[in-house]
């Protein structure tokens, strides 16, 4: 949308390059055919994928993702986590993903837990 193009323009991209980047990311999340649609015309899963694309628009070095699957069924939630993992690996983006649903964490590199207000990291491999 125009808002994303403005944000990308602030990052130093021309409007044309910002639009090209937005379309590239929409294609990466499987939504290029819906590029002209408004949010109310998209399903919940499609809106989550748009959120992933928006988060990656300016090529962040770190991405913080809070409960990306909370409003999705299991299948769509797994697809969104897989998408985040695939795209952030491709862009070499460090990602911190917060979730209460451990079933989606099979593709992540490391899992840390917060238990009783304390961060617990896994033991280092021998």
DSSP state of 95: E
Mean pLDDT of 22-37: 90
Fold of 2-120: Rossmann fold (3.40.50)
Beta-carbon neighbour count of residue 13 at 10 Å? Answer: 18
- Cβ(65)–Cβ(97) below 8 Å: yes
83: pLDDT strictly greater than 60: yes
pLDDT for residue 40:
93
Alpha-carbon span 63 to 77, nearest angstrom: 18
State if pTM tops 0.75: no
């Amino acid at each position: 949308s125009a808002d994303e193009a403005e944000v990308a323009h602030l990052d130093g991209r021309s409007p044309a390059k910002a639009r090209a980047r937005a379309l590239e990311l929409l294609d990466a999340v499987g939504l290029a055919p819906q590029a002209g649609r408004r949010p109310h015309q998209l399903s919940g899963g499609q809106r989550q994928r748009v959120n992933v694309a928006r988060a990656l628009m300016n090529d962040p070095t770190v991405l913080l993702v809070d409960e990306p699957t909370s409003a999705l069924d299991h299948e769509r939630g797994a697809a969104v986590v897989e998408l985040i993992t695939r795209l952030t690996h491709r862009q070499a983006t460090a990602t911190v993903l917060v979730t209460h649903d451990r079933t989606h964490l099979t593709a992540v590199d490391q899992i840390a837990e917060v238990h009783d207000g304390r961060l617990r990291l896994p033991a280092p491999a021998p």
